Structure 1
Amino acid sequence: MKFHTYNGVFAEEKKLGQKLEIDVDMQYPIEERVQHDDLNETVSYADVYGTIREFVTTHSFDLIESVANQLLKKILADYPSLQQVTLRIRKYSVPIDGIFDNVEIEVAGVNND
C-alpha cells in the first residue's frame, strides 16, 4: 500500500510530506473461520486497507516507529479475530546524507483473547 503522508522530524517533511509504503501480514485461523466461502467469516482486506488509509492520512508523527506502533495497536483493536499482525513501513524521502532507496521499520503484535 502506498500513501502520501506528513510524518518526520523536520518542518519541511511535515509541510511537503512524503510517500510511505506499508505491508501488512495478518494471521488468523482461516481453517476454522472460513467454512462457507463467505466474506463475513473472514477479515475483509478492503476494511483493513480503509483503516490503514484513514489512520496514516489523518495522523502525523515525528518517527515512522511511532506510526508503526500506533497503527499496529489500532489494527489489533479493530480486528480482534486477528491473532497476529506484522507491519513493515518504508519511508523513501529521508533527510540523511547517503545513498539508499528507503528506510524501513517492522513491528509485530498479537491479540491476547
Structure 2
Amino acid sequence: MKSSIEIKGLRLFARHGVFEEERINGNTFELDVRLDYPIGKAMESDDVTDTLNYAEAVEIIRQEMDIPSRLLEHVVGRIHKALTEKWPDISGGSITLIKRNPPIPADIDGTAVKIEW
C-alpha cells in the first residue's frame, strides 16, 4: 500500500528574495508538501507516535522558512533536508514553495519552486 502525509496551502510570512527590500519587507509564501510515508502501523494503532506527525512537520517547515534566503531553491532544499533527517522513512515526496506578490511587473498569482523525489 502506498501512503503519504500532505500539508496543503500552508501560508507563512518570510523574508526571502534576491532583492534587499524583499528580505527587509518580507512577503507571503505558500507551501504544498507531500511526504510518502508508511502509515500502516498508525492505521492499526490509532497512535500519533506511529506516524509522521504533521504538526511537527509544520513546525520544522516554519523554522526553515524563518531563515532568510536569497533563493527559493535554497529554502526548499533546507526544508527537504530537515524533514528527511527527522523522518528517515520518508521514501519520496514533493515540496512546492510559492512566493505570493513577487516584485515583478506582471499580473500573476506568484512564482514557485517545486522539487520531487
Fold conserved (TM > 0.5)? yes
User: How many angstroms apart in 1 are the aligned matches of 2:32 and 2:82?
Assistant: 15
Cα pair 2:38 2:51 within 8 Å, conserved? no
1:3 and 2:12 matched: yes
Percentage of pairs with the same residue = 26
Equivalent pairs, count? 107
Cα deviation digits, residues 16-68 of structure 1 (max 9, x gap): 0001111110111222x3221111110111110111111111x1111111111
Query: What residue ranges of structure 2 are gaps of 5+ in the alignment?
Result: 1-9
TM-score normalised by length of structure 2: 0.85
User: How many angstroms apart in 2 are the aligned matches of 1:106 and 1:48?
Assistant: 18
User: How many angstroms apart in 1 are the aligned matches of 2:38 and 2:79?
Assistant: 22
Structure with a larger share of its residues in strand:
2
- Matched letter for residue 45 of structure 1: Y
> Which position in structure 2 is the counterpart of 1:79?
87
Structure 2 counterparts to residues 1-113 of structure 1, below 5 A:
1-31=10-40, 33-34=41-42, 35-57=44-66, 59-109=67-117
RMSD over aligned Cα atoms: 1.2
User: How many angstroms apart in 1 are the aligned matches of 2:30 and 2:63?
Assistant: 14
Deviates more, 1:75-84 or 1:42-51: 75-84
- Matched letter for residue 26 of structure 1: L
